[in-house]
Chains A and B, each alone.
Chain A
Amino acid sequence: MADLHFLANPARFRRFSQRVLPGLGFATVLMLCACLYMAFFVAPADYQQGQTVRIMFLHVPSAWLSMMGYALLAGLGASLLVWRHPLAALMARAAAPVGASFAAVCLLTGSLWGRPMWGTYWVWDARLTSMLLLFFLYLGHIALSRAYDEPERGDRAAAILALIGVINLPIIKFSVDWWNTLHQPASVTRLDAPAIHNSILVPLLWMAVSLLFLFVFLVLLRTETEIDRRRLENAAAQEEGAPA
Chain B
Amino acid sequence: MSNHAAFILASYLAAFVILGGLVIASLSARNRVRRELDQRGLAPRGSAPRGVDRKR
What string of 1s and 0s marks CB contacts (under 8 Å) between A43-61 and chain B? 0010000111011001100
Most chain A CB within a 10 A radius of its CB, from B5, B15, B36: B15
**Which A residues are within 8 Å of any B CB, using their own CB?**
11, 14, 18, 36, 45, 50-52, 54-55, 58-59, 62, 97-98, 101-102, 104-105, 108-109, 112-113, 115-116, 214, 218, 221-222, 224-225, 228-229, 231-232, 235
Q: How far is the CA of A116 from the CA of B33 in the complex (A)?
A: 45
> Measured between C-beta atoms, what is the minimum distance from A35 to chain B in Å?
11
**Which B residues are within 8 Å of any A CB, using their own CB?**
1-2, 4-5, 7-8, 10-12, 14-15, 18-19, 22-23, 26-27, 29-30, 33-34, 36-37, 40, 42, 44, 46-47
CB-based contact A97/B22 at 8 Å:
yes
Q: How far is the CA of A218 from the CA of B40 in the complex (A)?
A: 26
Among the listed A51, A52, A58, A228, which residue makes an inter-chain contact with B15, where contact means beta carbons less than 8 Å apart?
A58
Residues A62 and B8 in contact in the complex (CB < 8 Å), given A14-B44, A225-B33, A232-B37: no
B10 proximity list for chain A (CB < 8 A): 112
